[in-house]
Structure 1
Amino acid sequence: MSGRRLRVEADGGSRGNPGPAGYGAVVKDAASGEVLAEVAESIGRATNNVAEYRGLLAGLRAAAAVDPDARVEVRMDSKLVVEQMSGRWQVKHADMRRLAEEARAVLPAGRVDYGWIPRAQNSHADRLANEAMDAAAAGRSWRRGGDAAPGPGPATAAGTASTPGAASTPAAPARGAAAHGEPLDLVLVRHASTALTEQRRLSGRYGEDPELSGAGREEARRAAASEEVRGADVVITSSMRRSRQTAEVIAERVGARVLVDPQWDETDFGDWDGCTAAEVVKRWPAEFAAWSDDPAVAPPGGEALVAVERRVREAAAALRTRWAGRRVVLVTHGDPLRVLLRECLGCGAHMQRRIRVDPASRTLLRLHPDGSSEVLAVNRV
């Protein structure tokens, strides 16, 4: 265990019971009260109790993404959920029983405790839940900060900040360096190889989530020994296994901590996950052609490039603010890496597939507080 304590505050609501429903959850550092992650989502028609359980589940997943080894204190104003999850009351409703089982599986039981708080003390999570429901009523999807974005539709919803369990890079007050115009030196590292990488198969954020192969572990060790990562203040990684494993090797070598941010996860390739490009072209020729021509088109059941761009821009803005004047290693995936590089170069989506980023390669960027950027190196191996 890390010894860290996190606090999850969660809530859910239904306008009709059952009716249009949504949830909200916030993850805080239990000692300082610093907000580390916010999640919210409209879940369609449901009861208050189901929405509250959905909020709990999302909050626990977000806490696990921030620090999978932390102890977590859950605080909710739903006495029903608190008593049931504490084991004092039975869970009789089938939908809630399933959600309760999922919640218990997120973290070991001995590392989570539950407590009731008055509604007034749960206002943060309540506000997030209402923001999500308001956004859905207006035909939009919830985004962190209360800024509702145009609804992406079923194919791209996974790309918004409403994804259950998603957590932004932990927020912090702007450092003095930002005020004085010091840049962020960002080392982008593509994760090292997996068996699917070696077979040139698509591996998206909701697919198999493979671990590093033997060759990949060696690639990660070479990346950790490279001059580009030397002196890093922190290593930030997507929540996907191959990325986290690469980040852990680098962090151990440079003596930095690891922070997990699911906004840097790979694109959701939907039905194409696990396929090679040749297999996709053969089975989905029309869909592949449309996807290749238009960044707003998603793979069947997957995520459009424009959705990936939205979350990458939001995550990159948070990096500029928090880590100004620092050197940060960011371990991520092909598509998010290319998007950020394109943003720095001012290139459109038509360049996305023309940028080569090899496994464990390093790309160096300098991000200035005024929004300008420099590209110092690309695809070093």
Structure 2
Amino acid sequence: MESHNTILYFVRHAQSAYVEGSEWTRGLTEQGKRDAERVKDLLTGEQPDLFVSSPYRRAVDTILPLAQACGCEIRLEEDLRERALSGAEMGKDRFFDAKRTLFEQQDFAYPGGESSNEARRRASPVIADLLKRHTGKRIVIGTHGDIMTLMLQTYDPSCDFGFWQNTTMPDIYKLEFDMQGELIAKRRLWG
């Protein structure tokens, strides 16, 4: 009997060299490009039906080889962009402490940044809409570590700072939802 469950593949982007001020446009490193090919090899057999991504180039580039192999276009969703963090407070010497604060204090935001709850409120409706409109489909989502963790946290509260800290670039999580949009299984496919 054919399953009517919906499968979401959250694909965190592959390695991308940080360049200040280029959040939207920075692409993948050579290692990132090789890993994007590995993502393609790993997920081609899953026979995805639909591709959705953050508009950031590194997220798109990570799932592009897979989408091309499947003969599919990638639909960009502005609300799947990475969480806005802020400027000075997120310096390299304080990065992990600042991230921990943002995950532990869900309503807290650094000046110019988004709180966990603000970022989740903009991104999670995209996922809910995909589950509602594409029941029974296999959907690949090009995403980022922070926003992926927050979206997953909507369905699994154990996805917290520790979960984020243990993700890799790239990373892949396969989530299965029943016809009512309830999470019934979560499995890591990378690493």
Quick one: structure 1 residues 212 and 272, their matched pair in 2 at CA, closer, same or farther if it must change by over 3 Å? Answer: farther
1:88-167 pair list within 5 angstroms: none
SS of 2:160 mapped into structure 1: helix
Letter in 1 for 2:171: S
Alignment correspondent of 1:174: none
Q: Distance in 2 between matches of 1:345 and 1:288?
A: 19
Q: What's the CA shift string for 1:256-293, capped at 9, x where partnerless?
A: 221111111110012159842x2447xxx8x7785454
Alignment correspondent of 1:117: none
Q: Per-residue deviation at 1:374?
A: 2.1
SS of 1:250 mapped into structure 2: helix
- Say yes or no: does 1:210 pair with 2:26: yes
Q: Per-residue deviation at 1:311?
A: 1.6
Q: Which runs of 5+ in 1 are unaligned?
A: 1-180
Quick one: structure 1 residues 288 and 336, their matched pair in 2 at CA, closer, same or farther if it must change by over 3 Å? Answer: closer
The question of whether the paired residues in 2 share the 8 Å contact of 1:271 and 1:301 is answered with yes
Q: What's the CA shift string for 1:154-186, capped at 9, x where partnerless?
A: xxxxxxxxxxxxxxxxxxxxxxxxxxx922111
Quick one: structure 1 residues 296 and 256, their matched pair in 2 at CA, closer, same or farther if it must change by over 3 Å? Answer: same
Q: Per-residue deviation at 1:380?
A: 1.6
The answer to which structure has the higher strand fraction is: 1
Alignment correspondent of 1:221: 37
The TM-score normalised by the length of structure 2 is: 0.84
Alignment correspondent of 1:119: none
Alignment correspondent of 1:185: 7
The question of whether the paired residues in 2 share the 8 Å contact of 1:344 and 1:374 is answered with no
Quick one: structure 1 residues 226 and 274, their matched pair in 2 at CA, closer, same or farther if it must change by over 3 Å? Answer: farther
Alignment correspondent of 1:359: 169
2:83 to 261, 267, 270: 267
- How many residues align? The count is 187
The question of whether the paired residues in 2 share the 8 Å contact of 1:363 and 1:378 is answered with yes
SS of 2:48 mapped into structure 1: coil
Quick one: structure 1 residues 318 and 373, their matched pair in 2 at CA, closer, same or farther if it must change by over 3 Å? Answer: same
Q: What's the CA shift string for 1:317-373, capped at 9, x where partnerless?
A: 1111121111111110112211232222244xxx52111221122100012232311
2:66 to 250, 253, 264: 250
- Say yes or no: does 1:307 pair with 2:118: yes
The question of whether the paired residues in 2 share the 8 Å contact of 1:207 and 1:274 is answered with no
Letter in 2 for 1:195: A
Compare relative contact order (CA 8 Å, sep 6+) and give the higher one, 1 or 2. Answer: 2
Q: Per-residue deviation at 1:295?
A: 1.1
The question of whether the paired residues in 2 share the 8 Å contact of 1:272 and 1:280 is answered with no
The TM-score normalised by the length of structure 1 is: 0.44
Q: Distance in 1 between matches of 2:70 and 2:24?
A: 29
Q: Distance in 2 between matches of 1:338 and 1:266?
A: 11
Please identify runs of 4+ aligned residues in structure 1 that moved more than 6 A.
none
Higher Cα radius of gyration: 1
Q: Per-residue deviation at 1:216?
A: 0.5
